[in-house]
Structure formats: structure tokens, C-alpha cells
Amino acid sequence: MEQEVATFAVKKGLAQMLKGGVIMDVVTPEHARIAEDAGAVAVMALERVPADIRAHGGVARMSDPELILRIMEAVSIPVMAKCRIGHFVEAQILEALGVDYVDESEVLTPADEEHHINKHQFKVPFVCGARNLGEALRRIGEGAAMIRTKGEAGTGDVVEAVRHARAVLGEIRRLQNLPEEELMAFAKEIGAPYELVVETRQLGRLPVVNFAAGGIATPADAALMMQLGMDGVFVGSGIFKSGDPARRAAAIVKAVTHYNEPKILAEISRNLGEPMVGRQISSIPETELIAQRGW
């Protein structure tokens, strides 16, 4: 009886275990421990949170492996790390480090403006951002085992995450109402692999776990994304750019569990201190928008 590693069921399975949970961006081992103590299901190890990447400018790359390793040593929960879109060598390095998930992320400066990584070739599973169903299914076609909305990272403005969640879920609803003979034209229209279109229609949902990300800053934001039908949330800058990270982190964890209970949400939203200072997306010049990266 042979052990089989890195099957798609195993890659997708870890994301299934993260459902109903919060994945938090952390930049130090201390942050990682605060996140774990607050109930995070995983952490994303980074040198800078997206808000600082925006402020800092320049080329944003994979984080220093030393930092990622120290964060892996600090916590018992899964550790994710980001590589640039199309930068398969950064992905190879992250796999060699033993991270539990790689985020091929638009938050970093893309390394390839036409092609994403062939994620089937890796043992480590990948999560990728998507703004609509076509983009989500292209990423799954390339081997992504988990999808997240792109939102607009580092803004604290949830509007884009909502737009992307509604786009993906709305297109799935539309797909379910199509007769079978129209599926090929639909696949062509959204630029998605036909087989995945058929599978999505049959399931009534994406074939992999689908998280919300990009602009979530409060327990109410997190619960909003859950009520819209997301499987869980990533919180980037929203925690460690706020006044009381430990408290806010714990509150967002509770909000994702009790997303359908306004009375509990009211209780856990009290006295959280200052939220991160947001940046309204409509005030950001189009050339600075991150979500447009990815093809």
C-alpha cells in the first residue's frame, strides 16, 4: 500500500480545513504568535503588510527566507508565503522552505505579465486571487487548490472584495441556469477551461475553497463576506495596522464563526480601538490599483 503525497485532494483538503477561519498577515514571529493566540487558522509570512508595500513603493518581492523560517518556528498553525505572479523560482524556494501554502499574489510586483505559474508541477499547494469566475477557473486550471477574491489589498476598503465575491458567485448562479448546449460558449466568453465550467455548474460552487481577501478591516467586514457566501477570510493590513491588534484579531475570528448572529457581532465589535486608517479606493489612481495584476 503506497502513500501518495501532493495529490489534488490533499492540496485542496488543507484549504477545506481552513474554512470558517481567518488567515492573518504577519511580519514578525511575535505577530505570528499573537495571531495564533487570537485563533487564526493560518498566517501569511511577509516582510511588509500590503498597506506598507503601497506606501513604500518600489519592487515588492518574496520575503527573506530567514524571516519565513522564523515565523514557521514560532507557530504550530500552517504558514503561507507569497511569491510574485509567474515567478516560479520564488515558488520553488518557498516549497523548499516547507511553507504550507504559496500565495501567487498580485500584492507583489508581477514577474511575468502573460503567464502565471504552472502550479500542477509543485508539491506545495497554491492559492491565487481572482476578480471573476473566468479568472478563478483559469487559476484552478493552472493548478491552484484555493481561490481568494483580490479585493484591493492594503486599503481597508472592503468594496472591491464585495465586488469580486458578487462577480464570482453571481456568475456561478448564471451558469447554473444555462442549458447544457450553451456551456461551451459561456466557457469561451469568460475565458475558462470547459471542463471546469461543467464541474462548477454541477457543484453550484467553485471546485476549490474560496476565501475573501483585500480590504477587510473589521468584524463586520468579515461577517459581510461570510454572509455573501465566502468560505473564510484573509486579513492583511487590517489587524496589525490597527490600534489593538490582539483584540481586533480575536474579534474577527469570532465574527467569522458567528457571522449570522447580529447580537453576537454587536457584542464582539465593542471597544476594539482604532481600526486601520483606510484609503478609499475611488481616491486611488487607476495605475496604482493592485487587483488589475494577473491575467
Partner 1 sequence: MKIGVLALQGAFIEHQHILERLGVETVQVRLPAQLEGLDGLIIPGGESTTIGKLAVDFGLLEPLRQFGKQRAIWGTCAGAIFLSKDARRDQPILGIMDIVVERNAFGRQVNSFEIELEMPFLPGQNGRVYPFRAVFIRAPLIEKVWGGASVLVSLPDGRIVAARQGKLLATSFHPELTDDDRFHRYFLELVQSPFEP
Strand order in the sheet with 22-26: 209-211, 146-149, 126-130, 101-105, 79-84, 42-45, 22-26, 233-235
Gap between the Cα atoms of 285 and 287, Å rounded = 6
Tell whether residue 230 is a contact of partner 1 (CB under 8 A).
Answer: no
Minimum Å gap between C-beta 104 and partner 1 is 16
Which one of 120-128, 132-140, 164-172, 211-219 is the stretch in contact with partner 1 (CB under 8 A)? 120-128
Category of 98 on φ-ψ map: left (φ > 0), alpha (ψ -120 to 50) or beta = left
Work out which of 27, 32, 40, 51 binds partner 1, going by CB under 8 A.
Answer: 40
Sign, CA torsion 163/226/110/154? positive
> Smallest gap, in angstroms, from Cβ of residue 86 to partner 1?
22
Query: How many of the chain's residues bind partner 1 (CB under 8 A)?
Result: 41
Check if the beta carbon of residue 233 is closer than 8 Å to that of residue 252: yes
Residues 234-293, interacting with partner 1 (CB under 8 A): 250, 253-254, 256-258
Question: Does residue 229 bind partner 1 (CB under 8 A)?
Answer: no
Does residue 82 have an active-site annotation? yes
Site mask for partner 1 (CB under 8 A), range 80-99, x = bound: ---------------x--xx
| Residue 93 beta carbon to partner 1: minimum distance, rounded to whole angstroms | 13
Helix (H, G, I), strand (E, B) or coil at 67: helix
How many angstroms separate the Cα of 59 from the Cα of each of 36, 55, 56, 63, 293? 30, 12, 9, 12, 14
- Binding status of residue 100 toward partner 1 by CB under 8 A: yes
Of the residues 11, 82, 119, 241, only one is catalytic, namely 82
Residues 55-74 that bind partner 1 (CB under 8 A): none
Looking at residues 7 to 36 of the shown chain, list those that interact with partner 1 (rule: CB under 8 A): 7, 9-10, 13-14, 16-21, 36
Distance of CA 37 to CAs 180, 196, 268, Å? Answer: 49, 38, 17
Write out the residues near partner 1 by the rule CB under 8 A: 1-7, 9-10, 13-14, 16-21, 36-42, 76-78, 95, 98-101, 123-125, 250, 253-254, 256-258
- Residues annotated as catalytic are 82
